Structure 1
């Protein structure tokens, strides 16, 4: 999953890259962020759909399944993944639920 997200940043990102890790309540949150000045809001909503690619001219070799597989794997493990596009900055956010151990 991480390899796919990092490869996408390298291939499609523009400029800076930020990968952050933080704890938020009962989750560990990883954010993959990069500039995506040419990405439209409508495209961002579909990034996790199988066979969707924002490459309108289909000039790249991407078939658009990497992010769909990543989303499916994250959700099958019981966690959450989402995408945000704010002022040309794309963020893919994974919220990993922390396991709670019973100690007695």
Structure 2
């Protein structure tokens, strides 16, 4: 019974981690699809790791006011991704 409990906890942890990895990958694709349609990836890449989420959200909101078609939910996802992405991350930075 103890082995089954340990296995279940391990499986749950694995599923949670894989869900987070999938969410990060999906957010990265959203950023690539949305932001890179107007901006070169390099412009965004050079700012990764330097700005907090709120600053990215302000930037995305400014892009929305300039005509970018991004929902509020996607704007929050983009801002969160950009605030946590490491410099050089795929698919934005192509490395």
Q: TM-score, normalised by structure 1?
A: 0.30
Higher RCO (CA-CA < 8 Å; seq separation 6+): 2
Larger helix proportion, structure 1 or 2?
2
Bigger-Rg structure (1/2)? 2
